[in-house]
Amino acid sequence: MALIGVIGAGVMGVGVAQNLAQTGHDVVLVDKDEQILKEALETIARNARMSRLMGGPALDADEILSRITTSVGVGGAAEAEVVIENVTENWEVKRAVHEELDKVCGPDTVFVVNTSAIPITKMASITQRPDKVVGVHFMNPVPAKPACELIPGFHTSTETVERTRDLLKAMGKKAIDVKDACGFVSNRVLMLTVNEAAYLVHEGVATAESVDEVFRSCFGHPMGPLETADLIGVDTILYSVEVLYEHYADSKYRPCPLLKQMTDAGLHGRKSGRGFYTYN
């Protein structure tokens, strides 16, 4: 089984690493800090042990962890056949990571960009392998979601797309083909919805609880938009909306000031213990 590099041990990186390991792949999980990696492994072990209770399959936490090694710095992914990058939704941060990966990885290594908004062609342009760069927008929580968006850039080769499609299938994912446009399908719609829901709270039209109740009770959604924001991360929502606003120069993507204030205050949702709601 090919070695897969997972870059970034945040919420998405943890989910991708777990999903890969529980489907039999060998993984090297990379981040810039040993403590972050230690906490990531603890989260994966906890998620595996809780899987059955949360309606998922019974998982062997020790077996999953045995397939995951960790590395401080991207040099640990030098031998990977595929690297999946999951760092924060910020162009400057992602660019720096891909420039570094491009130097240490072999010429045949495929770069998978896990992004909710940044165009893949733009991302590929800063590497020396644009034909081997492809986008995959994983959904959170990654192990529980059966599908994702598969986005080739302008130069992405058919071989790269099919290699990635095969990997996603092996992970239990249906790949939905989407063209390379900022925000793709899901976030062109979802981020507008979450941003507008935040405006409703910001303007005092309704509480977060009331906004979400409308979507659950009237439309049958399992989660309201602000619960979804807390799950994804309020800061991630803000960064995604900002990318859309910058790319399209369209006022409909103007970020809600409340999202900015919450991000600055550290109210990032579930991962920080408080967002639109408070978590234990």
90 is in an annotated binding site: no
Residue 198 DSSP label: H
Annotated active-site residue in 116, 195, 240, 242: 116
Q: Select from 17, 108, 111, 24 the least CA-distant residue to 69.
A: 17
11 is in an annotated binding site: yes
15 is in an annotated binding site: no
CB 16 within 8 A of CB 8: no
Q: Is 58 left (phi over 0), alpha (psi -120 to 50) or beta?
A: beta
246 is in an annotated binding site: no
8 is in an annotated binding site: yes
Q: Is 137 a catalytic residue?
A: yes
Q: Is 247 a catalytic residue?
A: no
CB 187 within 8 A of CB 149: no
Annotated active-site residue in 47, 86, 187, 195: 187
Q: Are strands 147-152 and 133-137 parallel, antiparallel or unpaired?
A: antiparallel
Cis peptide before 146 (omega within 30 of 0): no
Q: Is 86 a catalytic residue?
A: no
13 is in an annotated binding site: yes
Q: Is 246 a catalytic residue?
A: no
Annotated active-site residue in 19, 98, 114, 137: 137
If you search the block for the tokens 């770069």, which residue do you land on? 111
103 is in an annotated binding site: no
271 is in an annotated binding site: yes
12 is in an annotated binding site: yes
134 is in an annotated binding site: no
19 is in an annotated binding site: no
* Sequence-distant (≥ 6) Cβ neighbours of residue 86 within 8 angstroms: 6, 7, 8, 10, 12, 13, 16, 114, 138
Annotated active-site residue in 19, 85, 86, 149: 149
Binding residues for NAD(+): 8-13, 31, 89, 94, 116, 140, 271
Catalytic residues: 116, 137, 149, 187
Binding residues: 8-13, 31, 89, 94, 116, 140, 271
